[in-house]
């Protein structure tokens, strides 16, 4: 049984699935592959949701990332230093290692958090694909 159920925002965020249909991928490659780490797909391959609704759309994801990683770092250090009694050097060393290894995944889930704030889950989104539910992709310059 999966840890997170399809239909919840957490499922879309942590599995990096389209926030509308929860089926399509948002990134082409794995979060730890180092190939195309930050290139997001233009549209959902399953429901055609536009992942770039306007220029600079992911500017907001930067603030989301800042807020949650700030709290994460604080709680991480508090847990290892105060609760487990590790030294400051060891706690920060582990934190920095953890953040460096998961940098791309953190970047990606921050984008998915931002998308999930703005897009609602629609279980029938894939059925509407091709029935003019969403505008077809117009000319897009990179
Ligand atoms: Zn989708």
Which residues, in sequence order, are bridge partners of residue 17? Answer: 25
- Cα(49) to ligand 1 centroid in Å equals 5
Structural domain includes residue 63: yes
Report yes or no on 32 lying in a domain: no
Distance 5 CA to ligand 1 centre (A): 16
| 94 occurs within a structural domain | yes
**32: CB partners within 8 A, 6+ apart:** 101, 104, 105
46-63 tens-digit pLDDT: 899 999 999 999 999 999
Residue 5 lies in a domain: no
Give me the number of domains the chain comprises: 1
Q: What's the whole-model pTM score?
A: 0.82
| C-alpha 21 to ligand 1 mean position (Å) | 4
Query: Is 135 inside any structural domain?
Result: no
Q: What is the extent of the structural domain holding 115?
A: 13-26+41-51+59-128
In a domain, 93, yes or no: yes
Q: What is the pLDDT, as a whole number, of residue 23?
A: 92
């Amino acid at each position: 049984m999966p840890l997170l159920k399809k239909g919840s925002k957490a499922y879309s965020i942590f599995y990096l699935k389209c926030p509308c249909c929860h089926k399509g991928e948002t990134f082409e490659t794995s979060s730890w592959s180092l190939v195309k780490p930050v290139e997001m797909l233009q549209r959902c391959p399953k429901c055609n949701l536009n992942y770039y609704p306007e220029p600079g759309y992911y500017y907001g994801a930067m603030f989301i990332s800042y807020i949650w990683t700030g709290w994460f770092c604080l709680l991480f250090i508090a847990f290892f230093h105060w609760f487990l009694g590790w030294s400051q050097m060891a706690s920060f060393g582990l934190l920095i290692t953890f953040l460096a290894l998961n940098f791309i995944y953190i970047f990606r889930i921050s984008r998915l958090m931002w998308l999930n704030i703005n897009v609602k889950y629609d279980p029938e989104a894939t059925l509407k694909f091709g029935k003019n539910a969403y505008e077809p992709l117009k000319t897009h310059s990179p």
